[in-house]
Amino acid sequence: MRRGGWIAAMLLLCPALATAAERVIAERQWDAGTLPEGATRVGAADRIPGALRIEGRDDRATSIALWTLDAPGVAKPAHALRGTVRHHDVRGTGYLEMWTRYGDQERYFSRTLATEGPLRNLTGSSEWRPFTLPFFGAAGRHPTRIDVNLVLPGAGSVELGGMTLVELDGAQDLSTGAAGGWWDDRTGGLVGAVLGSGIGLLGAAIGSLCSLGRARRLVGALLAAAIGIGALTAALGLAALATGQPYPVYYPLLLGGGIALALGLGASRAVRRRYEELELRRMHALDVG
């Protein structure tokens, strides 16, 4: 496989590896056939394609049935609903809830009623952020139905991206991340931002110097640094995944490492050709002169 081909494959593999510790049961994207009653589509908002919006009312509480899964096929004791949410001027304490049912009599709920983290409630305003609704059942028991709802006590608007139901390999403390996690979801966002900014600056420096035909040794050193950072970060991400670290730990490491490797390895050939062309031009100019 050519270098560009396996780099592209590696980048596509990073998100897949990030979810390898979980098995996806079902996914819900919002379209004309799945849009809940009372909701509207908002299009590709802030890179969240097909998001929906629900408006609360001043005079009464609003409860919207978002998703019902009959015989969901959950085989392990623990499962979770993941997604992204944004809300604006929500009065009171709104929340997302997941009801896990066993037959007609037993049912248990999980709600986003925490003050921070992926179980944070829907109060006031927030930009796009991930949420998680977990449930930890008993071994050998399988849910017969799962219902997902949105509850708003009053006025305010909530926007939701797609949702995914997954099986969990082990019990996690999802209010802060996971048991034994290297860091929580907020720190994971910071790690991703630092990696992204650093890789962006490396790429800008390499591109600018290469286009000007200057500092060939420095450009080579920057490419080597990108490859080294990418390999180290990706290795840390794989180690985090193998040891059961939570999503905010392994995903930014895998994604950042993959992008850094793609930058360093993918640009090496183009950089070498650029400097060789410039050198040939200089030699030709000297010959002509």
Q: Do 216 and 269 share a domain, yes or no?
A: yes
pLDDT tens sequence across 214-243: 888 888 888 888 889 989 998 988 887 776
Identify the band that residue 213 occupies on the pLDDT scale cut at 50, 70 and 90: confident
Identify the band that residue 176 occupies on the pLDDT scale cut at 50, 70 and 90: very low
Among the candidates 138, 168, 198, a domain finishes at 168
Percent share of the chain, pLDDT over 70 = 82
pLDDT tens sequence across 131-175: 999 988 888 889 999 999 999 999 999 999 889 999 887 545 444
Q: Which domain holds residue 88?
A: 23-168
Q: Do 162 and 195 share a domain, yes or no?
A: no
For residue 175, tell me if it sits in a domain: no
Q: Which pLDDT score is estimated for 104?
A: 86
For residue 176, tell me if it sits in a domain: no
Q: Which pLDDT score is estimated for 12?
A: 45
pLDDT tens sequence across 6-23: 444 444 444 444 444 578
Q: Do 9 and 46 share a domain, yes or no?
A: no
pLDDT tens sequence across 60-83: 888 999 999 999 999 888 899 999
For residue 177, tell me if it sits in a domain: no
Full DSSP string of the chain? --HHHHHHHHHHHHHHHHTTTSEEEEEE--STTTPPTTEEEEEEETTEEEEEEEEE-SSS-EEEEEEEEES----SSEEEEEEEEEEEEEEEEEEEEEEEEETTTEEEEEE--BSSGGGB-EEEEEEEEEEEEEEE--TT---SEEEEEEEESSSEEEEEEEEEEEEESS---TTTS-TT-SS-HHHHHHHHHHHHHHHHHHHHHHHHHHHHT--HHHHHHHHHHHHHHHHHHHHHHHHHHHTT--HHHHHHHHHHHHHHHHHHHHHHHHHHHHHHHHHHHHHHHHHH-
pTM: 0.55
Tell me the Ramachandran region of residue 128: left when phi exceeds 0, alpha when psi lies from -120 to 50, beta otherwise: beta
Non-local CB neighbours of 1 within 8 Å, separated by 6+ positions: 9
